[in-house]
Amino acid sequence: MGRIRRLVAAVALAATATTTIAACGGDEGGDGSDAKTLKLWHYESANSAMGVAWDRAIQIFKDEHPGVEVQFERKAFEQIQQNAGMIINSSEGPDIMEYNKGNATAGLLSSQGLLTDLTDEAEKRGWGDKLSPSLQTTARYDDKGVMGSGNWYGVPNYGEFVMVYYNKDLFDKYGVTVPTTLDEMTRAMDTFVSKGVTPLAEAGAEYPAGQLFYQLALSKADRAFVDDYQLYKNPVDFKADPLKYGAETFADWVRKGYVAKDAASLKAEDMGTAFISGKAPMIVSGSWWYGRFKDEIRFNWDSFLFPGNKLHAGSSGNLWVVPANSKAKSLAYDFIDITLRPEVQALIGNNGGVPVAADASQISDPKDKKLIENFNTVSQQDGLAFYPDWPVPGYYDVLVSGFQGLINGSRTPDQVLDAIAKPYADGVKEITGK
């Protein structure tokens, strides 16, 4: 009797399974010029600059494509970060989605053949003319998935760069003016230290410390160094300038009290709130904070480019990619094109984001305008140097532990450079095979 029931249960389960298969195996599309839906995913929050601008882009798209339904879903960053490969390798994935730039993400998927080559569209629609060369670096990947050359696999909409945010009220209070060279910056920080104020909020437990080191190194670097470090053109000597200068200056800044020793264990969020609450006169960090600062800060504040640098940590933002399994490719191209239009780009700028192809004169708020002008300056002089943890997989943790040691004084600059040189060399060897 038991056997019979178990059998019935098994048959029932099998039956449900087959019906689901039948339900799923429905539509298989070609390049999708006749597609009637566009499944679109991104992970920007609704009130962020990109969220607002892309809502508008979706609206424009709907107006221009009557009869096409846009199925938009806001995803969790975590979900895309962890599963993008699995998602777009199935038939359940989106037709177009936002995805992280870089070798380990977009590069990896492109080398696995999961992304559509956008080179023809980029040429036809003139995307290449709208994006400066250093922005294009993260849009193009070679057959090994290394950025910088090869086909277009993604299109960025916004940029990001590391700058100095400063508290104007504190600057006025202590009679400090905005520095334009690294020397002036040092003097400004000396003034704060002499008044008992730690000038720079830092966060050793996350990305900010590595970015400050990189920013300092870049003050002595040229484009060739960036190509060597990021694109493996030539081997990088960690014991020579600019990296040596970066680590030594960083240690110097810690010793002189520009950076607090207890910052070693702080997270980026702590650094941000230290600035928002008005305790820290300055932070060196990226434009991703800008919108939040604008919403939450009550005092006078502004930003300036890291003084004296021609090169700045920064890159294009995340990319629009079209999965190889997309069922509505031509609609996806149309949508990407809309997001690069001046109207949408200006919306990014007017909401505290950094558009890649905006006319600064279209930006109304003076502070926003300055941000975008700064970015355009950097971008046009080919000054985006990407991020220090990009070159090899897993390098982020290496840098964090290295500079934690430097901030709390347990390691000398020399030891830190040794500690970060080896994983870099190993990683590069694995990627290039040399």
Binding site residues, another protein, CB under 8 A: 1-2, 6, 16-17, 20-21, 23-25, 43, 45-46, 73-79, 82-83, 86-87, 89-90, 92-93, 100, 207, 268-269, 272-273, 276-278, 286, 288-289, 292, 295-296, 298, 318
d(CA 346, CA 162): 21
d(CA 209, CA 26): 51
| Residue 43 or 171 having the CB closest to another protein | 43
Q: Which helix (H) or strand (E) holds 110?
A: helix 108-111
| Residue 170 or 360 having the CB closest to another protein | 170
- CB of 181 vs another protein, minimal distance in Å: 29
- CB of 89 vs another protein, minimal distance in Å: 8
Residues contacting 36, CB < 8 A, separation 6+? 67, 68, 69
The token pair at 363 is 């930006």
Token pair 């971008």 in the structure block, residue: 379
| Residue 235 or 394 having the CB closest to another protein | 394
d(CA 268, CA 77): 17
126: amino acid identity, one letter: G
- CB of 63 vs another protein, minimal distance in Å: 25
| Residue 189 or 274 having the CB closest to another protein | 274
Please answer whether residues 40 and 94 qualify as being in contact, where contact means their C-beta atoms are separated by less than 8 angstroms.
yes
- CB of 15 vs another protein, minimal distance in Å: 12
- CB of 406 vs another protein, minimal distance in Å: 22
| Residue 43 or 386 having the CB closest to another protein | 43
3-state secondary structure of 238: coil
d(CA 306, CA 162): 8
| Residue 120 or 296 having the CB closest to another protein | 296
Beta bridge partners of 201: 283
- CB of 314 vs another protein, minimal distance in Å: 13
